[in-house]
């Protein structure tokens, strides 16, 4: 479960990065194909290798029917690995993810479709001097007509309706909300793990309460339901529209 949880957290960071690139560098986002796949492969291999410490420091005890620290391991070593695991596999990617999604949220929520393109950009679109601007604009165009005249080449753009832009922004906002819910589901479990290292007595009292433990476990496994919900409502829907 350590590997799957870590893999889930880092995959959400990849998705947040893709949303960030789509907002900040739309042209580069359109050209990305192999990079996300390569990132997922590297993340999967890294998570498996990094979590191998569990096999050396933890053993299953039949009497308690649970996995406990191996007594042969030097005391304190397991705690160091646990803290490193929480920092590398949860705190760092989650912090970066919050920053990226926060930036995307402010960009999408703050820019209405009617104000997305100003007068200067409309003027730039009237000439064939800015390929980057035309590619940026292509995501919200129905078609483009090129006319020849004595003054040169003139391009006429038909902008898609606000409904299209609103739907596109809605997908961004919905993705960020699902990402936030996933993070909320994962945080209590990580907080209890960290509390168990710093204040073992307090953690024992909390774990003895079956209601709290059951609620934390329910949230922990709910994060994987968020993954499935995101795939069904965002990834597959977006692919179907292309």
Question: What pLDDT is attached to residue 109?
Answer: 77
Q: Average the pLDDT over each of 24-38, 52-66, 86-100, 123-137 and give the range with the smallest value.
A: 123-137
| Residue 235 in tokens | 């990834």
Rounded Cα distance, 146 and 155, in Å = 5
Rounded CA gap, 12 and 18, in Å? 10
Q: Which residues contact 217 (CB under 8 A, 6 or more apart)?
A: 189
Which is more confident, 55 or 148? 55
Inter-residue contact 108 to 26 (CB < 8 Å) = no
Choosing among 1.10.1520.10, 1.10.260.40, 3.30.1330.30, 1.20.1070.10, the CATH entry for 2-110+161-241 is 1.20.1070.10
Over residues 34-58, mean pLDDT? 88
Structure-token pair, residue 53: 């410490």
Interval 30-46 mean pLDDT: 89
Domain ranges of the chain: 2-110+161-241, 115-160
How many CB atoms are closer than 10 A to CB 183? 19
- Residue 161 and residue 163: Cα distance in Å, rounded? 5
Give the model confidence (pLDDT) of 69-97 as tens digits.
Answer: 666 666 677 888 889 999 999 999 999 99
**At CA 156, angle to CA 150 and CA 157, rounded to 5?**
165
């Amino acid at each position: 479960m350590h590997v799957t949880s870590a893999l889930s957290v880092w995959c959400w960071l990849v998705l947040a990065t893709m949303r960030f690139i789509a907002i900040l560098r739309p042209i580069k986002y359109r050209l990305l194909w192999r990079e996300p796949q390569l990132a997922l492969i590297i993340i999967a291999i890294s998570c498996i290798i990094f979590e191998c410490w569990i096999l050396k420091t933890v053993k299953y005890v039949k009497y308690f029917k649970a996995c406990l620290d191996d007594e042969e391991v030097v005391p304190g070593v397991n705690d160091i690995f646990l803290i490193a695991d929480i920092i590398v596999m949860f705190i760092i990617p989650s912090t970066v993810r919050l920053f990226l999604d926060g930036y995307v949220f402010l960009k999408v929520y703050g820019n209405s479709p009617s104000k997305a393109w100003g007068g200067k950009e409309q003027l730039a679109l009237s000439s064939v001097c800015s390929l980057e601007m035309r590619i940026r604009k292509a995501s919200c165009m129905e078609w483009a007509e090129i006319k020849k005249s004595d003054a040169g080449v003139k391009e006429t753009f038909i902008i898609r309706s606000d409904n299209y832009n609103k739907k596109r922004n809605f997908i961004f906002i919905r993705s960020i909300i699902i990402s936030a819910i996933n993070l909320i589901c994962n945080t209590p479990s990580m907080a209890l793990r960290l509390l168990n290292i710093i204040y073992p007595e307090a953690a024992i009292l909390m774990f003895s309460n079956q209601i709290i433990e059951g609620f934390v476990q329910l949230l922990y496994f709910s994060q994987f339901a968020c993954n499935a919900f995101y795939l069904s409502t965002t990834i597959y829907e977006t692919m179907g529209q292309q």
